[in-house]
Amino acid sequence: MPTQTSAKQAKSKARKVAYIGPGQDLNLINKPGMDGHSAQQLAKSRAVLLSYLLKLKKSIDAEHADLTQAICHRFRQHLTDYISYGHFRLLKSCTPQAHQIVALQANTQGLLPFTERYSGHRTPRLPQLKNDLEDLALALEARFEIEDEVVLNPPWQ
């Protein structure tokens, strides 16, 4: 279990790594195999996920169980969409190397338990949810790094 300080550092790093900013959007658009629409969708999807993570953290810290449940439900929907986007859109529009495909598949398998655990409409236990979100943030950071590698460093370069 990570310490509170290391978890905060990891979340901060995840926020920095996870967002493809406006300057990078141009890099993605100009890469062979990654069209502008796909790059914009990737950036938008990441921003939405990070926004929900921050909203969840605030609602958990404020101990608003009902609000947390509602935000968690929306976050889970966006996470599921993001996971499927990575498999169907990103992998289709780029040419990942075999090790990248394996890494994305393994990462997906690591993210799915969260979507399954919080798929119901019952109120989540806030301490458990907070721990699960910390682990999820680290998994998303790893996924974003793999995706960036696929998009920004195609094998033909």
Per-residue pLDDT tens digits of the chain, which is 157 residues long: 444 444 454 444 444 333 344 444 434 444 455 667 777 888 899 999 999 999 999 999 999 999 999 999 999 999 999 988 766 777 777 888 899 989 999 999 999 999 999 987 778 899 999 999 999 999 999 999 998 888 887 666 5
- The answer to whether the pTM exceeds 0.85 is no
Contacts (Cβ under 8 Å, ≥6 apart) of 16: none
CA–CA gap between residue 50 and residue 42 (Å, rounded): 12
Apex CA 37: angle with CA 31 and CA 38, to 5°? 65
